[in-house]
Structure 1
Amino acid sequence: MAKIREVLKGNKTTFEVDLGRVAGKRRRLFKPTERLAERTLKEQERKRKLLGNHWDELDFKSRWTTLEILEEMRDHGVTLTEVWETYQKTHLSHGKSIIEDAIDDFLDIKSEAGRRGRYMKEMSRALARFAQGREKRQLGSVGSGEIRSWIASFQGSAATRKTMQMRIKTFFAWAERQALIAKDPTTRLETIRIDQADPQILSVAECRRLIQSARAIDPDMLPYFALSLFSGVRPDECARLTKKDIDLERGQIVISGEASKTRNRRIITLLPPAERIFKKYTFGKFAVNFRRRRTAIKKHAKIKKWPNDVLRHTAASHFYNIYGMDEATKQLGHSASIMLKHYRQMISKEETEDWMNI
C-alpha cells in the first residue's frame, strides 16, 4: 500500500511517496508539498488500477507467459526496464525508419534498378498488405514472430504463404543491406515447403478442340496459341512481342532480352502448327480483352481444367520428344533442372506427331 510520509531531506522538509517494491526494487518519490504528494499518489493509484484492468483483459495463456518471462528475468537478475532499454538500443534506434517510408524507398529503388512492371505490382500489393495497421511503426520493431503470424494469416494454399514469405524476406533483406534494421528478422523463419505436383498438360484432343474453337469464334486469338501452345512462349513474353519478332522466312521467333523473362535473348524454331497459323492470321490482335476472350474459347472447347501455364507446359512436354533435353531447354529458355521439375510430362512420340499435325 502506497504511503505519504513527511521526512527531512537536505535539512528541508519534504514529502515522501512510498510506492513499495516495483520490479523488485523499492520505489520512492519526493515532493516539496503535501498537496503535490497527494496528487502524485492519486495518479499512481490510477495507473495501478488501469494496469489491473489491462491484466484482467489478458487471456490465461498471455498471463502465464508473462509470469514465466518475469520469473526467468528475476533468476538472471534482469529487470523489465533493462530489457526494454536494451531492445530499444538494438532494434528501435537502428536507422529509425518508419515502415511506410521504408516501403516507398524499397519500391523506388527497385523501379530504378529496372524491375519489371509485374514484379513491382506484386511486391507493392504484398507490402501494402503487410503495412496495413503498421504504417507509422519503426521497421526495427517488427520481429520474426509477428511476421510468422502475418504469413499464417493467409488461409489459402501453402503456395500462397510461401509466395508471401519470399516477398517479405526480399524486403527485410534489402532493409538490412540499407542499414535500416540491425538484423533481418525473416532469417529466423522456417522455409515453407510444398510438395511439387505433377506437371499438368492438355491432351492432344484438347489442343485440337482449343484450336478449332478459336477458329470458330475468335480467329484473332490464334496467333496467341501459336506462341504459347506450339512455341512454349511465356504469357508475359507473348504480351511483349510484336509482328517483327516473327520471322517466317527463317522460320523462327526472336525473343529479345527486353521481352524475355530471364532478360536473355533466345530464338525459337517455328514448328509446323505455329507456322501454319502465322501464315494465315494477323499477329497482334489478341491483347484486347484477352482474358475474357481466352475464357470464351476454353468454354467453347469444353476444357474444364486449366492449370497455371498449362499451354507452355504442354509445349515443353512435346519439345522433349522433338528436340531432346538440351535443345528443348534452349528453346524454352530455362535450365534442365527446371525442365525436369516443372514441365516434362511423359507422352508418347505418336502423340507428339499427332500434336504437330493440328
Structure 2
Amino acid sequence: MANKDQSPLKGWEYPAGSDIRIREVINRYEGKDFGVSYRVSIPAKFAGKRVLKQFADSKAAEEWADQQYRGFVASGKAHFELTSTQHEEAIKAIFALRDTGLSLLEAAEFTKEHYKPADKAVTVSEALEKLLAEKEAGNLRPRSIRDLRNRLRPFAESFGEKPIHQLKTPQIQRWLDELKGLSADSVEGFSARSLKNYIVTLKTFFNFAISKGYRAKGDNPIEGISVPKIDWEVPAILTIEETKRLLKTAQRFREGGLLPLVALGLFAGIRTSELYQLHWDNIDLEEGIVTIDATIAKKRRLRVIELTPNCVAWLTASNQLQQAGFFI
C-alpha cells in the first residue's frame, strides 16, 4: 500500500503517479459516526468526467483504482464506457472463444448478423407494410404516404424477401450507387437532391425497424452512408415582362383555366401542393383574401392570406370565376 499522510482523514494517490486519489470519508448517519469508507476519485481527464466509487476497506479501493488505471493505459477513455460487469463479461467471453480462433469483436459481429428472435425476424417488405400502416393510422397526409411508398418501393423490390436485420451498409451503398431513374433525364443516376431524399427516407425506415425491435438498438446501416452535398441555387426571379407573358399564356391556356393558379402562385406565394387543392370557396374577392384551411395547409394550421390588388384583378378577369370546382 502507498504511504498515507498523517491527517485525521487520510488521502493518497494510487497507483503512484496516476493522479487517482483515494481518501477516507466518515460514515455518518443522523449525526452519528460509524467508522470510515474509502472513496476513489478518478479525474475527468481519464473518463471525460470525474468518476467516484466508495469501498468498505482500503485494499478493495486500491485494487479497483489499479484496475481502472491499467484499463485506461490499455484502452484510453473507452475503458470507462463499460460497466464493471461488462468488463467481467468481456474477459469471460475472450476465454470462451480461445479455441475458436475468433476475436471477441468477430464473434459479436457474427452474432449480430445471424441472431434474431423468431417473433421479431421480419422481411424488408413486411417492415415496409408495417411502416405504411402506422403512418396511415397516424393520419399522415396521403401525399406524404405516397412519397414514402414510392421511395421505398424500389428498395423493397431489391431486398423485399431479405430479413431486415441482415442488411449491411455496404449492400445498401452498392444499391444506391447503382440506382437509376425511370426517366431519360435520370437514367445515368439520380441527382444529389434525389439521392439525398432516398437516403433520408431509408434512414427513417431503418429507425422505424429499430423502434419495433426488428434490428438491434442503434444499428441503423444508413448512418454509415454519406449524404451528398446540395449546391443550392438562388431562386430565379421573373422580370416584369416575363411575368406578363406568363399571365397572358395562362389566360389563353384552356380558356383561362390555369390563370387563377398562376396568379395566386405569383402574387400570393402559395405552395403548389396547396394550390392544387384550392376551391373557389376559399377565395373572397370582395375582402381580397384567400383562406388555406387546415385540411390543405402543409403544417395543418389555418392560414389567411391577404391578396394584392393586382392578384384580385387577375382573378376577377378569369373566365373561370363563375364555375364551381377546382382551379385545374
TM-score by length of 2: 0.59
Q: Which residue of 2 aligns with 1:175?
A: 209
Q: Which residue of 2 aligns with 1:151?
A: 176
Q: Which residue of 1 aligns with 2:235?
A: 199
Distance 1:196 1:250 in 2: 38
Q: Which residue of 1 aligns with 2:313?
A: 276
Deviation at 1:110, TM superposition (A): 0.6
When structure 1 is superposed on structure 2, of 215-224 and 79-88 the one drifting more is 79-88
RMSD: 3.0
Amino acid at match of 1:142: L
Question: Do the aligned residues in 2 keep the contact of 1:221 with 1:285 (CA within 8 Å)?
Answer: no
Amino acid at match of 2:165: G
Report Cα offsets for 1:231-261 as digits up to 9, x if no partner. 1111110112111110123211111111111
Amino acid at match of 1:180: Y
Distance 1:137 1:131 in 2: 9
TM-score by length of 1: 0.55
Distance 1:285 1:245 in 2: 11
Distance 1:81 1:250 in 2: 72
Question: Do the aligned residues in 2 keep the contact of 1:100 with 1:131 (CA within 8 Å)?
Answer: yes
Q: Which residue of 2 aligns with 1:86?
A: 111
Distance 2:175 2:159 in 1: 12
Amino acid at match of 1:195: D
Question: Do the aligned residues in 2 keep the contact of 1:223 with 1:286 (CA within 8 Å)?
Answer: no
Amino acid at match of 2:168: G
Deviation at 1:85, TM superposition (A): 5.0
Q: How does 1:84-123 map to 2 (within 5 A)?
A: 85-90=110-115, 95-123=120-148
Deviation at 1:215, TM superposition (A): 2.3
When structure 1 is superposed on structure 2, of 278-287 and 99-108 the one drifting more is 278-287
Question: Do the aligned residues in 2 keep the contact of 1:94 with 1:180 (CA within 8 Å)?
Answer: no
Report Cα offsets for 1:138-176 as digits up to 9, x if no partner. 010111222222222231211111011011111111111
Deviation at 1:103, TM superposition (A): 0.6
Question: Do the aligned residues in 1 keep the contact of 2:279 with 2:325 (CA within 8 Å)?
Answer: no
Deviation at 1:285, TM superposition (A): 7.4
What is the SS of the residue equivalent to 1:240? coil
Distance 1:82 1:270, change over 3 A: closer
What is the SS of the residue equivalent to 1:254? strand
Q: Which residue of 2 aligns with 1:187?
A: 223
Amino acid at match of 1:137: K
Distance 1:127 1:272 in 2: 45
Question: Do the aligned residues in 2 keep the contact of 1:91 with 1:141 (CA within 8 Å)?
Answer: no
Q: Does 1:239 find its partner at 2:281?
A: no
The structure carrying a bigger helix percent of its residues is 1
Percent identity between the two aligned chains: 25
Distance 2:106 2:228 in 1: 36
Distance 1:93 1:83 in 2: 19
Amino acid at match of 1:117: P
Distance 1:91 1:204, change over 3 A: farther
Deviation at 1:209, TM superposition (A): 0.5
How many residues align? The count is 217
